[in-house]
C-alpha cells in the first residue's frame, strides 16, 4: 500500500534525477527489472531567476516521455534542459 513521503527541513536538493519507475530494460533483452515504485516526480528546470519579480515571466514547456507505458523516464540524461534554458524557457519533465 502507498506510504506517505518522508518530510524534510529546509531546501530539498533536487540535483540528482529520481529513480525510474519499475520496467524492463529494453536494451539488455533480459528479464531484469529496473527501477522502483516510488518514482512519480516532476523535474523542473529554470533559467536563472530574475531579481526583479515584477514582470519577468518565462514560457514553460512540459514534456511527457514516450515509451507506451512500458519503458522510459523523464531523466535529464535523455531530456536535458541545456538548450531550452539558454533560451529562457522553463522545462518540466515527468517521471511516471
More confident site: 63 or 30: 63
Averaged pLDDT for residues 5-24:
85
Angle at alpha carbon of residue 32, lines to 26 and 37, rounded to 5°? 90
Q: Report the predicted TM-score, pTM, of the whole model to 2 decimal places.
A: 0.75
Q: What is the pLDDT of residues 29-46, one digit of tens each?
A: 777 888 888 888 888 888
Q: Is the separation of the CB atoms in 60 and 79 below 8 Å?
A: no
End-to-end Cα, the chain, rounded Å: 18
Q: Is the separation of the CB atoms in 93 and 14 below 8 Å?
A: no
Amino acid at each position: 500500500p502507498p506510504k506517505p513521503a518522508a518530510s524534510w527541513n529546509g531546501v530539498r536538493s533536487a540535483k540528482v534525477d529520481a529513480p525510474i519507475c519499475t520496467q524492463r530494460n529494453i536494451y539488455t533483452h533480459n528479464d531484469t527489472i529496473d527501477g522502483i515504485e516510488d518514482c512519480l516526480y516532476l523535474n523542473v528546470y529554470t533559467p536563472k531567476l530574475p531579481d526583479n519579480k515584477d514582470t519577468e515571466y518565462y514560457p514553460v514547456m512540459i514534456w511527457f516521455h514516450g515509451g507506451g507505458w512500458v519503458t522510459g523516464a523523464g531523466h535529464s540524461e535523455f531530456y536535458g534542459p541545456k538548450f531550452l534554458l539558454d533560451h529562457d524557457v522553463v522545462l518540466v519533465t515527468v517521471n511516471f
